[in-house]
Structure 1
Amino acid sequence: MLMGNADTLMLSQYSDNSVAAVGVSNQILSVIIVMFGFIATGTAVLVAQHFGAKEFKKASEVSVVSIIVNIVFGIILSLGIVLFTNQILNAMDLPPELMGEAATYLRIVGGFAFIQAIIMTIGAIIRSYGFTRDTMYVTIGMNILNVIGNYFFIFGPFGFPVLGVEGVAISTTVSRFLGLLAITYLLFKRINHELPFKKVFRLPIYHLKNLLKIGIPSAGEHLSYNTSQMLITFFITMLGTEALTTKVYAQNIMMFIFLFSIAISQGTQIIVGHMIGARQFNSAYHRCLKSLYLAIGISTLMAIIVSFFSDPFFGIFTDNQEIIKLGGTLILLTIILEPGRAFNLVIINSLRAAGDVRLPVYMGIVSMWGISVPLAYFLGIHFGLGLVGIWIAFIVDEWIRGIVMLWRWRSRAWEKKAFVTPTTNEEAV
């Protein structure tokens, strides 16, 4: 999260328009990352379940299949971004003054997006084996390199060329490439049994089928969320560049609130996956609920603390008093929003860990497109509430979905969905 946040913070010292341009580009890139994530999500679930069942050979086979698939898929999507950059940005109805910088950022970062695909997949594998600190250290290193690169390209010390958005894009890409080298080294260092890359074309096809069976529905939910967010961002462009910039700043600050729920949900997914693989269903049931209460408590507390200091936080990014005032209101609404988000993050990740992936997708599509998008338009645009109306739409969406997900977890229907089952020779190719 800090990589995007550092880009926004450092560019805010350069130009508010640059912040808005990069914000829209990142909104588009987040959809691409979701596409990469469907393999990474399936990988995390299957490796964790096989690891919990002590099926280490199958865990390594799944790991190799997922890496190869995401490399190919990542290259295809990266080429698509480069070839259709202008068409994508035109579809967002971006203000003309933002088009040049947004296109530059999208081409550079999007053109090398396949690097992120590989990092996500290897990171999911390493975390599922329990080496969560490794991925943290790699990410910290990437952040440090990114900040250093941003500093040189934005502020131009020692006669360095000031490249603005282009420099930030280069810095982000180079730091990710170096992060890829580091996490690939850790993969081979930490996994103490063979990763059968040489046998990739002889590996059982059911691994890929299971990856897609989990990953595609999971990606559907993420894709639904991100495309709905893109449409809502389109609504916000109707409100002007200042509103768009406020939204970017507010969501960057909100990251420091919901990152705790994300961290808890990811840790819970690994633990629940191990428990499901070991057939410890009762332990998995209670682990999810304990994590949920913890995530709700921490996210609510953090939202309250951040709301008290919202003016100084926004003051880090801008001295525009209208942005600071409106942003403060959005952070205040976040106190209601974040507990609802915690429900979805923790319970949906636990349902995925158990292999129960379809209901979250169906509910996500219904709620995001049936509630969040139309409500955002009517409150924000039609009734003139602007960003406040759009934030209210977010709150309604998160809470309705969250309550349904809690009902699903309590029903324990997920106990029949585990993927760790005996396989037959006919399933191999």
Structure 2
Amino acid sequence: MKKVDGKKLTLFALTWPIFIEIALHMLMGNADTLMLSQYSDSSVAAVGLSNQILFLVIVMFGFVATGTSILISQYLGANQDRKAKEVAVISLGANLAFGLLLSLALYFLQEPILRSMNVPDELFLEASDYLVIIGAFSFVQALIMTVGAVVRSYGYTRDIMFITIGMNIVNVIGNYFVIFGPFGFPVLGVEGVALSTTISRFIGFIVAIGVLIYRVPGALPWISALKQPWEHLKNLLRIGIPSAGEHLSYNASQIVITYFIAAMGTEALTTKVYAQNVMMFIFLFAVAVGQGTQILIGHMIGGKQYEEAYERCLKSLKIAIFISFASAIVFSLFAKPVLGIFTSNEAILTTGSILIYLTILLEPGRAFNLVVISSLRAAGDVKYPVYIGIASMWGVAVVLAYTLGVWAGLGLIGVWIAFAADEWLRGILMLRRWRKRGWVKMSYTQ
């Protein structure tokens, strides 16, 4: 495998820090949920609803970060270091502007957004407080994601992992003070948790900028890159907009499905939040393998190592499917005790456990999408996953979630069956696309 700045890139070397980083990001969200569960179950549901919107915003930021990672990886693979650095500069500027725009939109439009989601009245105030604070400063997350994409593309995945560790420590300490109020500190609940998360992100961003300056060899061409940004911006948009389209479609479909679940009541919403928090730890390995594989395949495509890229995707897929299946079984064996960490509500424990059992079926299908779609993007084939994704997410996931969950009365169990059907259909179609090898002619460095 090609070396970058004297550093040999391997799947293991790239993946284990990404795995820990993603796990810690999930822990940050779970820390909010777990600590808030000691405060109020309704607060958990309120934060879960707000996070549906915030996840959508993060996806919007991700379209620049995704394009950044792929372009820099391909340029480094083709030994075009100057262009790689120019992409880094353009990406930071683009996501800063985009982040500020979305931050303003969330701050001023949070009420109509939440009303459109059918948020129960008893949850509205807390959901609104959380969304306003996190949303107004979401541009910081946009910058963190972009810096992380640049540094990871150069192979320094451990640096971003350490930043995430620091952010988690700050966040948990902050949560402790605002939720439990030690030493006479005021108990701020959901509002305090939002402030704690925002402060930890600010600190993380400052450190990330230092890492970027230290790790990327040579100075970034700030002035020259901004003089003629259109070539790189065009390529970022060519990759990012279709990639964002797929993610936006997924998150929009999830919001519609959450609307269905909201009609089932606050208990159903809370169960969904707890079950999905547990599920995140089941599929995070597949996410890490997908991201590590994307970096490797980007370098391989840039260096015209097409056969190696083809085999790398298939090997990574086998690893991800095996780990996802094994993890789902382990979590299913301990479903009630794990959910019991969050709540003692017996109805939530019973339904939530069934949802965890269903992940044995769901998660191997998700592994297909996480690995193969990342590989297709890295090779430049970004449109096909969007077309198939939109058709399946809405034609299968949303339709079946309503049909089985609402119309047939299966509730959350019907919704989870719909999720599994969507993941497997898309996954099989993505693998078929990869095997056809049409992506060989789609490199951005040709």
Corresponding residue of 2:28: 3
- 1:335-414 equivalences under 5 Å are 335-414=360-439
Corresponding residue of 1:30: 55
Partners in 1 of 2:143 and 2:43 — Cα distance? 28
Deviations for 1:336-392, whole angstroms, at most 9, x for unmatched residues? 000000000000000000000000000000000111101100100011000000000
Corresponding residue of 1:300: 325
Corresponding residue of 1:180: 205
Corresponding residue of 1:198: 223
Deviations for 1:192-223, whole angstroms, at most 9, x for unmatched residues? 12211133431341100000000000000000
Q: What stretches of structure 1 of length at least 5 have no aligned partner?
A: 422-429
Corresponding residue of 1:75: 100
Question: In structure 1, which of residues 97, 100, 105 is the aligned counterpart of residue 122 of structure 2?
Answer: 97
Cα drift, residue 186 of structure 1: 0.1
Partners in 1 of 2:35 and 2:357 — Cα distance? 25
Question: In structure 2, which of residues 278, 288, 299 is the aligned counterpart of residue 274 of structure 1?
Answer: 299
- 1:216-255 equivalences under 5 Å are 216-255=241-280
Counterpart secondary structure, 1:317: coil
Runs of 4+ in structure 1 off by over 2 angstroms are 198-201
Partners in 1 of 2:429 and 2:374 — Cα distance? 14
Corresponding residue of 2:188: 163
- 1:128-139 equivalences under 5 Å are 128-139=153-164
**Amino acid of the structure 1 residue aligned with 2:206:** L
Question: In structure 2, which of residues 63, 76, 86 is the aligned counterpart of residue 61 of structure 1?
Answer: 86
Contact 2:90–2:225, Cα closer than 8 Å, also in 1: yes
Q: TM-score, normalised by structure 2?
A: 0.94
Question: In structure 2, which of residues 65, 70, 93 is the aligned counterpart of residue 40 of structure 1?
Answer: 65
**Amino acid of the structure 2 residue aligned with 1:180:** F
Q: How many residues align?
A: 421
Alignment pair present for 1:16 and 2:41 = yes
Partners in 1 of 2:43 and 2:35 — Cα distance? 10
Deviations for 1:272-295, whole angstroms, at most 9, x for unmatched residues? 100000000000000000000000
Counterpart secondary structure, 1:228: helix
Cα drift, residue 331 of structure 1: 0.4
User: Cα RMSD over matched residues?
Assistant: 0.6
Alignment pair present for 1:263 and 2:288 = yes
Contact 2:368–2:430, Cα closer than 8 Å, also in 1: yes
Partners in 2 of 1:268 and 1:6 — Cα distance? 29
Contact 1:60–1:193, Cα closer than 8 Å, also in 2: no
**Amino acid of the structure 2 residue aligned with 1:131:** Y
Corresponding residue of 1:151: 176
Is the deviation greater in 193-202 or in 400-409?
Answer: 193-202
